[in-house]
Structure 1
Amino acid sequence: MDDEAAEALVSRVAPLLPGAGVGREDHRPSLDPVTEFLMGRYGRWACGWNWSVGEGDVDGGVVEVWCCASHSVTTPDATAPLVVAALQEWRGWLEDLAERFAALAPPENTEVSSVDLWYWERACTRLVTVVADRTQAESGWYGHCLQVLRWFLAFNGIDEDQAEEIVKNAVGGRFDSWIAPDVPVTDAVSSRFARGVGGIR
């Protein structure tokens, strides 16, 4: 999004934001029209615009420019540019993930073997590491990590239900809030992840 498009979006978002008469406790639900507008304009991906790091509107995201409704919402004129910046940051993360998915995908038509499972193990390790880093491994970070792993499997043509089962079995409560997984935990999760994929391919 160039500067002109961003400025135009700011002017569209500002009227949707809560005014001075809205209490702080009502700021979060008052952002629903903003989210609905962004999704209607750009697609479902835009719903993550306020998925901030730590204990924000939704736990465990990657967006740093937006804190949470109770702190980030002030006046419409001041808040609208934050919304647009948060949307851009979220979009940048999704584009970064798409590039990573393409780079980490195993070669087409690989046979299931210990060598080929290495691709899946490597992908899991790298994705867990980057999500832990981007979320700063704060509150609820692992929720987005599991989501990213499911997205990666979907990118590689694995059915949604199978992806859910593979990720659930691989992680199985081994990640915690406020702490990035150490190497042995990440290696164990990645190994189970690869074996799970190998079981269906």
Structure 2
Amino acid sequence: MTHPFDPEGALDAVRAVVAAVDPDSGRRRGLWSDESIARGLAGHYGTWAGGWLYAVQEYPDSGTVITSLPPSGIGAGDLDAQARRYTSALLQWRAWLEELAGAFARLAPGGGAAADAGEVVRLRERGVAPLVTLVVERTQAGGLWLGTCAQALGWFFEYTGLSV
């Protein structure tokens, strides 16, 4: 992945975002919304860091890539509990992105750069089945796995250099 990330410092960074005041609402982000936390993390780390928001689903058979989250602490306004929860989501999201990046590199070395269109199509054809399998394994084919699969395949197609 091209965006540097230190997982050891993630909890401190997330704490700072959770405790910060949301410029849109004037309230502490942790007491406002998941969306404001996602925006804050994207502002801190880059746009990749906001993607966890749409991958969080607290039902075990949902088919999302983030499966195990600590309690939110929202009812009690416990900012530290919220920071642990958001850090868990961020770390799981980053692990998924790194897993996909590794799969892309194995399935299409060089990402299709400088390859002719026919070779890119062959890279795609060889890559689709392993990526679908990876998504199914990661999401356990729960109810929302199709969206995760479509996203992963779309990213792979972008990586190979041809439009979808």
TM-score category, normalised to shorter length:
0.7 to 0.9
CA deviation after TM superposition for structure 1 residue 132, in Å:
0.9
Match of 1:185 in 2: none
In structure 1, the residue matched to 2:17 is 13
* Corresponding residue for residue 131 of structure 1: 135
Q: Where does structure 1 lack aligned partners over 5 or more consecutive residues?
A: 19-28, 164-201
Amino acid across the alignment from 2:38: T
Distance 1:141 1:7 in 2: 28
What is the alpha-carbon distance in structure 2 between the residues aligned to residue 142 and residue 98 of structure 1? 19
Q: What are the ranges of 5 or more consecutive residues in structure 2 without an aligned counterpart?
A: 1-5, 20-28
Whether 1:142 and 2:142 are equivalent positions in the alignment is no
Q: Is the 8 A contact 1:54 1:60 kept in 2?
A: no
- 1:187 is matched with none
1:53–1:135 contact (8 Å) kept in structure 2: no
- The 1:53–1:121 alpha-carbon spacing in structure 2 relative to 1, beyond 3 Å, is farther
Residue 101 of structure 2 corresponds to: 98
Q: State whether structure 2 residue 156 is matched by structure 1 residue 152.
A: yes
Residue type at the aligned position of 2:118: V
TM-score, normalising length: structure 2: 0.72
Between the aligned partners of 1:35 and 1:125, the Cα distance in structure 2 is 31
Give TM-score scaled by structure 1 length. Answer: 0.60
Contact 2:11-2:83 at 8 Å conserved across structures: no
User: 2:118 matched to 1:112?
Assistant: yes
Q: Which amino acid aligns with 2:72?
A: V
How many Å separate the matches in 2 of 1:53 and 1:30? 15
- Count the aligned residue pairs: 141
CA-to-partner distance for each residue in 1:46-104, whole Å, 9 max, x for gaps? 12223135759xx642012338xxxx421221121121121011011111111111110
1:17 corresponds to which letter in structure 2? G
Percent identity between the aligned chains? 35
User: Considering only aligned residues, what root-mean-square deviation do their CA atoms show, in Å?
Assistant: 2.7
Higher RCO (CA-CA < 8 Å; seq separation 6+) = 2
Q: How many angstroms apart in 2 are the aligned matches of 1:8 and 1:111?
A: 45
